[in-house]
Amino acid sequence: MKILVCISQAPDTTTKIAFTDNNTKFASQGVTYIINPHDEWYALVRALELKESGIATAVHLVTVGKADVEPVIRKALALGGDEAIRIDTDSNEPYVIAMEIAHYAESLGYDLVLCGKESIDYNNGIVGAMLAEFLELNYIGFATKLDIAGNIATVSREIDGGEETDTCKLPLVISCQKGVAEPRIPNMRGIMAARTKPLKVVAAAGIQPLSTIVNFEMPPAKSGVKMIAADNMDELVNLLHTEAKVI
């Protein structure tokens, strides 16, 4: 069984977010990138576990990005993927990403395609579903548990007030979230091994985006706390009326 894991990079969670070009672009200068945690901690680690337990024979990683994403892909290889593919184009648009991956993967016969439930930068959360559509495969989103027996996947997902368990025949696309696996820390042997693992660069199919970002806005700054003397009811009422505008 061959698994393809979709990996994207995302700004480190401590990044100070700013925009350039009239608020149309994310200011990436000086930003540290990490593997999107949902891809790394859940999709990739589960794929590695399936390989370690003898269920999967190969784990390939795919990312859409320019050469600057390679450190992140090397880290993923250090965690344990067998080989990586970088589709050489820069896009944050889910349609482009899903189409490019589908274009690359359609004839390669992957039995299982895993991705994170969303990337933590743009939070679209739809690449997995789109990819399944373009590959004409079944899709289960937001998995919290994933087991494979023979050619049947058993997948749990959270639903309102409980848990749903589905079974589905492979091949299949699954987006993963917390619960599917436990985060792993790479080790020095893995880091050394990653040096010589193949990282193939393939030309993009040149898919055009369906949507464009008009502009970004920062959420309003948190307003400070105003302290009012306990006995000054008039001031409190006044402020709730004129400033907070709630009464």
In one-letter notation, the amino acid at residue 243 is E
Q: Which is nearer to other proteins, 195 or 245 (CB)?
A: 195
Distance, first Cα to last Cα, the chain:
63
Going by the DSSP 8-state scheme, the letter that residue 69 receives in this structure is G
Binding of other proteins by 185 (CB under 8 A): yes
Which one of 54, 150, 159, 195 is in contact with other proteins (CB under 8 A)?
195
Binding of other proteins by 245 (CB under 8 A): no
Q: Which is nearer to other proteins, 75 or 157 (CB)?
A: 75
CB of 139 within 8 A of CB of 133? yes
Total residues interacting with other proteins, rule: CB under 8 A = 14
The piece of 72-80, 168-176, 208-216, 222-230 that touches other proteins (CB under 8 A) is 72-80
CA angle 86, 140, 93 (to 5 degrees): 40
CB of 71 within 8 A of CB of 84? no
Query: For residue 59, with 0-12 CB atoms within 10 Å meaning exposed, 13-18 middle and 19 or more buried, which class applies?
Result: buried
Helix, strand, or coil (residue 77):
helix
Binding of other proteins by 14 (CB under 8 A): yes
Report the alpha-carbon distance of residue 83 to residue 35 in Å, rounded. Answer: 16
Going by the DSSP 8-state scheme, the letter that residue 197 receives in this structure is S
Q: Least distance in Å: CB of 185 to other proteins?
A: 5
Which one of 27, 31, 129, 191 is in contact with other proteins (CB under 8 A)?
191
Q: Which is nearer to other proteins, 186 or 209 (CB)?
A: 186
The piece of 73-81, 131-139, 164-172, 219-227 that touches other proteins (CB under 8 A) is 73-81
Q: Which is nearer to other proteins, 185 or 230 (CB)?
A: 185
Q: Least distance in Å: CB of 239 to other proteins?
A: 22
Q: Least distance in Å: CB of 186 to other proteins?
A: 5
Binding of other proteins by 192 (CB under 8 A): yes
Q: Least distance in Å: CB of 2 to other proteins?
A: 26
- How far from 21 is each of 26, 62, 76, 216, CA to CA, in Å? 9, 30, 32, 10
Report the alpha-carbon distance of residue 247 to residue 192 in Å, rounded. Answer: 64
The piece of 36-44, 67-75, 103-111, 136-144 that touches other proteins (CB under 8 A) is 67-75
For residue 103, how far is the Cα from the chain centroid?
Answer: 19
In the complex, the residues that contact other proteins under the rule CB under 8 A are: 14, 70-71, 74-75, 78, 185-189, 191-192, 195
